[in-house]
Amino acid sequence: MKRFLPVDELARDARFAWIHESERTNDPRSGPQNNGNYQRAPRFSPDDEDSLDRARGLMHGIFMGEVQALEGAGRTCWDFDTGAGEHEAPYALKLDMARQCWDESRHVEISIKLAEWMGTEIGEFGEGRGLYQAACNPDPALRLTAVNRGIEGLAIDVFATMRKFGQAAGDPVLTFCEDWMLADEVTHVKMGSDWLRRLTADDPERRERALEFQRLVDKIFSSAGRAEESKEDARQFRKLAGFSDEDIDEAHVPLAAEEERAARLALVAGSRTVAPSR
């Protein structure tokens, strides 16, 4: 089996359409305020008639993220030789990734049942593949920083928001699905925080580079713009997942536009430059 499977070779059937992340986040069904960052998505309320449609689109995006998180964690078990070198993965890391595969498989199944419950068809919304592209990083420490600490940190925000929406709407199915997935994601984010330190424990220079990357990732995915009512949840869950208050405060200091662009490119630097076929 091939190592470092390129993003355009993921196995998908005819239901799935791969589109640019920008096209996906600009889907008009996601609402006019959506600007590509879930943290800034408008609030969800049972009193707002657009909320259900926006929630369906958001949870379809999460479903695709679960599929790619499963693929990424599986690749991390396979792409690297077992060992302690910079381009190797220790056996204990592979065990964590195997556990994550188990969790993500369950999340895919939960997401499919939740989609049915919400009246969504698989493939009704396009698939962006940013998560998998971040999971192509050739350095396992940076791979886990980008995917686990960064993108799954953002997923925590979505699950916490949707859990509240489910409670407010009196929908126990949505509420329990979000609650169960949220619990696992906190563990996955913590793996990202912990493995950066463990993998770089004996290499100060590698540690420095990894922490610099982590600082940028935190700014992209754990930064300002969150709605007032979800800010405290976001902080508490991140603290459970290995962030310090200083990390979170630092993430709120914005990057200049050019730096942010460079940081987003660095996030997917390990992925082959290919575009969706349509």
Q: Is 188 in the site for Fe ion (CB under 5 A)?
A: yes
Tokens 């499977």 locate to 5
Q: How far is CA 94 from CA 48, 75, 259, in A?
A: 44, 10, 33
Q: Is 143 in the site for Fe ion (CB under 5 A)?
A: no
The one segment of 9-17, 128-136, 179-187, 208-216 that binds Fe ion by CB under 5 A = 179-187
Among 71, 139, 152, 178, binds Fe ion (CB under 5 A): 152
State in angstroms the smallest separation of the CB of 12 from Fe ion: 18
Nearer to Fe ion, 113 or 272 (CB): 113
Nearer to Fe ion, 105 or 203 (CB): 105
Q: Is 66 in the site for Fe ion (CB under 5 A)?
A: yes
Among 54, 60, 75, 107, binds Fe ion (CB under 5 A): 107
State in angstroms the smallest separation of the CB of 236 from Fe ion: 18
Nearer to Fe ion, 127 or 185 (CB): 185
Q: Are 127 and 21 in contact (CB under 8 A)?
A: no
Cα of 171 vs its chain's centroid, Å: 25
State in angstroms the smallest separation of the CB of 135 from Fe ion: 11
The one segment of 53-61, 99-107, 163-171, 239-247 that binds Fe ion by CB under 5 A = 99-107
Q: Phi-psi region for residue 137, left (φ > 0), alpha (ψ -120 to 50) or beta?
A: beta
The C-alpha atoms of residue 249 and residue 173 are separated, in whole angstroms, by 34
Nearer to Fe ion, 89 or 156 (CB): 156
Q: Is 96 in the site for Fe ion (CB under 5 A)?
A: no
State in angstroms the smallest separation of the CB of 28 from Fe ion: 27
The one segment of 76-84, 182-190, 203-211, 218-226 that binds Fe ion by CB under 5 A = 182-190
State in angstroms the smallest separation of the CB of 192 from Fe ion: 10
Q: Is 190 in the site for Fe ion (CB under 5 A)?
A: no
State in angstroms the smallest separation of the CB of 154 from Fe ion: 11
Number of residues that bind Fe ion (CB under 5 A): 7
Nearer to Fe ion, 109 or 249 (CB): 109
Q: Which residues bind Fe ion (CB under 5 A)?
A: 66, 69, 104, 107, 152, 185, 188
